Structure 1
Amino acid sequence: MIATSIKDVQMNQQAIELFLSTLAGAQAEFPFGPEAKVYKVMGKMFALVTQDETPTRITLKATPVDVDILVDEYEAISRGYHMNKRHWITVTLSDELSGAMLNDLMVRSYDLVVSGLTKAQQAALKV
């Protein structure tokens, strides 16, 4: 399912976007304008990466339990900016989070969206 990992790569916008684009069926578009690149799988959003913003922020889907824990534990993670605060988190890139953790959060977001797809759509991704 995952073509690469960014666990050992310095976390920056370029590395994040490269990683997100390697996920099966991932497509990037700009439905909200040039400020936010949205990554979707089978038409369903799983990540949003801010453009030309310092520091870069990435918004990801998460379970409500994970949202509560992550927001409480990390200063760099807040409830999803302009998103459903129960199901989305926004991560501000900083030294607080390791590349491995950000990698895990991106994969979990992708997997959470894929798990909500139909069986036919899921099978199409495994081709």
Structure 2
Amino acid sequence: MHIEQLRNYCLNKPGVTEGCPFGPDTLVFKVAGKMFLLTGLDSQPLSFSAKCDPEYAVELREQHPHTIKGAYHMNKRHWNEVICNGELSDRALEDLISHSYELVVAGLRKQDREALRGDW
């Protein structure tokens, strides 16, 4: 996966916006104003931080110790850093992005969730 694929996948989800609130080198994706993914624009290989269910996060880190770890500068219980080093397929990476998006959407107020459904 490369940065354009990541960006397009995120932006195709309902209600997603992008911005650089932490400076010009970090791209952040939000849904209803809540962050679900961030990536460094200069990271080689590409890596991103995504929200994750805590139990699933531990499982993923054990299964993929060279690819998934606790996210730097984030709550490591709830955020993983995922390195796009070829160990995981693009489909698996997309699943991790979708998991993050869905966790954030599930935590939104009911009216915000319903507004997103109107985007579908």
Q: TM-score, normalised by structure 2?
A: 0.95
Give the aligned partner of residue 3 of structure 2: 13
Equivalent of residue 81 in structure 2, options 90, 93, 112: 90
Q: How well do the aligned residues superpose, as a CA RMSD in angstroms?
A: 0.7
Give the aligned partner of residue 90 of structure 2: 99
Give the aligned partner of residue 25 of structure 2: 35
Are 1:115 and 2:106 counterparts? yes
For 1:52 and 1:14, locate their aligned partners in 2 and report how far apart those are by CA, in whole Å.
13
User: What is the CA distance between 1:52 and its match in structure 2?
Assistant: 1.9
For 1:69 and 1:80, locate their aligned partners in 2 and report how far apart those are by CA, in whole Å.
15
For 1:56 and 1:50, locate their aligned partners in 2 and report how far apart those are by CA, in whole Å.
8
Equivalent of residue 70 in structure 2, options 70, 75, 79: 79
Give the aligned partner of residue 61 of structure 1: 51
Question: Aligned pairs, how many?
Answer: 117
**Unpaired segments ≥5 residues, structure 2:** none
**Unpaired segments ≥5 residues, structure 1:** 1-10
For 2:82 and 2:43, locate their aligned partners in 1 and report how far apart those are by CA, in whole Å.
13
Percent identity over paired residues:
38
User: What is the CA distance between 1:113 and its match in structure 2?
Assistant: 0.2
Give the aligned partner of residue 7 of structure 1: none
Q: TM-score, normalised by structure 1?
A: 0.90
Are 1:50 and 2:5 counterparts? no
For 2:11 and 2:34, locate their aligned partners in 1 and report how far apart those are by CA, in whole Å.
14
Q: Which runs of 4+ in 1 moved over 6 A?
A: none
Deviations 1:79-110 (A, max 9, x none): 11110000000001111011111010000000
Are 1:26 and 2:47 counterparts? no
2:94 partner letter: N
